[in-house]
Chain A
Amino acid sequence: MRVLTQSQLNEWLDDLATRLRLVAPVDVQGRLLYRPVRDHEAIAWGYERSDMSPKTWTFPATEAIVTIEQGSETQINDAPPPDPTVIFGVRPCDARAALAIDALFLEKEPRDGRYAELRDATTLIGLACPEMWDSCFCTVVGGLPNGTDGLDMLLTELEGREHGQSYAVQVLSAKGERLLAGVTVQDRDVALPEPKLTEGLPTLSPSSEWKAAFDDVYWQRLGDRCLACRACTFVCPTCRCFDVRDEVASRRPGHTVFERLRAWDACTSAPYRRIAGGHNPRPTPQSRLRNRFYCKFMYYPDDFGPLGCVGCGRCIDTCPVSIDILEVISDVARLAARESAEVRA
């Protein structure tokens, strides 16, 4: 097994940072965010889960898809090619989330060219979780704390004093292999430590059971306290809805620059689905909240394949009114059981 000691890893990261954009978890005024770093010391080592996911580096919160300059001639400029980027310290859940977003933007027509460019330019180096933390539930949705899906490389901290602070390295793609080329690694005979899993988590109901529960009054009651903010959606690594606006970026005599901006949006907010004329098919927080859960556990998997949730638990920690997706999963299972019981009787 290839193994990197901490100091080898530090050296490698420092070198990467000189050659391309290195992004890693950083403490920003007490919040853990993925930001560019200049060296390994800027990284917030020893973190559990970041507050915002790394999704912004492949699906930015704001992006100028196209810039149009109107002067004596009109010039349309695509966004410039992205900088090669390495995101270090990606948790396995967030990597699975990237695959979930790929299912929409890459695998369905029309293909999102800009997203494809960013994904191609980005290499994901994962850091396995030694355990599942308080709000984690990746195992409920088909993931594992040391899962390799979607990663170009996975580092796992080795246990045991004899190893010192070091990491087993699993290279998972050609991109990962290229990145590691020329880096000094050790070769040790080690077994990968098994992560500690949380027990007693609910089972996710299949799409058909969600469908059956759609009209239950449960969703009205759950949505009563929803504030219709966008916090859960923005911290979520799989949510990918966006708004596009054409805006004037600058206006000078004879020269105007327009931007077509894409920015994150959320189905939970009131104006999201409001259409010209003012009609809103989902006018209440209850209907919008229900839509969010159904998108994750029924519509998205039905239409695109993967679930729209990777069990990271950020929404649970973020929701100001304690709307808990894990509770919802349990409740839907109970609703499903009740329905089946009635049918049997």
Chain B
Amino acid sequence: MSSQQEQIREAARAYLEGGVVSVVIGYEHGPKGQVRPAFVYEAGDVDRLIWSRECNQNLTTYLHSFKHSPRRGAPVPRVAVVVRACDARAVNLLLHEQQIERDNIKVIGVVCGDREARGQERQACRYCQEREPVIYDTLVEPEAPVKLSETPDDYADILEMEEWAPQERLAYWLTEFDRCIRCYACRQACPGCYCFECVAEQVDPHWSSIAVELPEKFFFHVMRAFHLAGRCVGCDACEAVCPMDIPLSKLNRKLAKEVEDLFGYRTGDDPAALPPLATFNPEERLPL
């Protein structure tokens, strides 16, 4: 069994040589050894692609850059993307929401082990129950069987926070958002955030001041979390890219917990299931 890195390169080579796609989005090493997204356009360049414990950026966000035809009359580009198990669910999300066509993408799904971020194990990986992507065109098998984590996300840290008084929780979030600089890296890195004009930046209607002050930052993060309710795949890209180390995924995980609790739904698992806020059940009566 060839290494996962080799399998990725093979798949990329086949897709590019066969003219199946015009670009393969994967990971490469920069000159200083740092892992970064790679865009490979030529079959001869596939050896740039790597696979390591540090490959943990959600590349599906780049699918939005290729979903439109580049100019009148030109076809929508076909793209191959390397995905981890969590990223694959984002592909399902984008398919549900009709942002991409299944025929225009090739998913190189990697059975991934624990990922590393900034020298530490990724929290999201600690809870991962799947490892094998739910959608793929090419499955990149592991050299040795990958151990599933022992426990699913038990939301222990969230349950603990739920025991605090509301004022303590508010103080916690205001402290965290205080150092937010409203750079929107979290929004830009997220595959679920693709509005042409975000409400945070709209002039008409004028939802939010452009001020980089606490009330506006609070509003932005809470609103963004809610707009991702039932849509967030838990890839933690938002938290990983934040220059100020704000624990953003806690908000999203809280909503994921409630969505699971109320609707028995996890984003992107079932290709046929619609996100719960995009549909309804007339028999349902929920606590309000």
B-binding residues in A (CB < 8 A): 28-31, 33, 51-52, 61-62, 221, 224-225, 227-231, 233-235, 243, 245, 247, 261, 263-264, 266, 269, 271, 285, 318, 320-322, 324, 327
B188 within 8 A of A: yes
Q: How far is the CB of B209 from chain A (nearest CB, A)?
A: 5
Q: Is the CB of A227 within 8 A of B185?
A: yes
Known A231-B185, A321-B57: A271·B197 in contact at CB below 8 Å: yes
Shortest Cβ distance from B203 into A: residue:
A245
Q: Is the CB of B179 within 8 A of A28?
A: yes
The contact of A29 among B32, B179, B187, by CB within 8 Å, is B179
A235: chain B residues within 8 A (beta carbon): 181, 243
From 240 to 273 in chain B, residues with beta carbon under 8 angstroms from any chain A beta carbon are: 240-241, 243-245
Q: Complex: how many Å from CA A285 to CA B39? A: 14
Q: Is the CB of B212 within 8 A of A62?
A: yes
The contact of A234 among B30, B39, B183, B213, by CB within 8 Å, is B183
The contact of B243 among A28, A231, A261, A271, by CB within 8 Å, is A231
Q: How far is the CB of A324 from chain B (nearest CB, A)?
A: 7
B175 within 8 A of A: yes
The contact of A261 among B34, B188, B209, by CB within 8 Å, is B209
The contact of B185 among A33, A224, A229, A243, by CB within 8 Å, is A229
The contact of B245 among A30, A228, A261, by CB within 8 Å, is A30
Shortest Cβ distance from B196 into A: residue:
A270
A266: chain B residues within 8 A (beta carbon): 183
B184 within 8 A of A: yes
Q: Is the CB of A327 within 8 A of B30?
A: yes
Shortest Cβ distance from B70 into A: residue:
A284
B171 within 8 A of A: no
B39: chain A residues within 8 A (beta carbon): 221, 224-225
Shortest Cβ distance from A274 into B: residue:
B197
Q: How far is the CB of A217 from chain B (nearest CB, A)?
A: 10
Shortest Cβ distance from B23 into A: residue:
A224
Shortest Cβ distance from A247 into B: residue:
B209
Known A29-B175, A231-B185: A324·B240 in contact at CB below 8 Å: no
Q: Is the CB of B184 within 8 A of A269?
A: yes
Map CB proximity to A onto B173-208 as digits: 1 under 8 Å, 0 otherwise: 001101101111101110000000100010100100
Q: Is the CB of B57 within 8 A of A31?
A: no
Shortest Cβ distance from A285 into B: residue:
B65
Q: Complex: how many Å from CA A285 to CA B37? A: 14
Q: Complex: how many Å from CA A246 to CA B23? A: 43
B211 within 8 A of A: yes
**Can you give 26 A-B contacts (C-beta < 8 A)?**
A29-B179, A31-B244, A62-B210, A62-B211, A62-B212, A224-B37, A224-B39, A227-B189, A227-B241, A229-B184, A231-B183, A231-B241, A231-B243, A233-B183, A234-B182, A235-B243, A247-B209, A247-B210, A261-B209, A261-B211, A271-B197, A318-B243, A320-B185, A320-B189, A321-B57, A322-B34
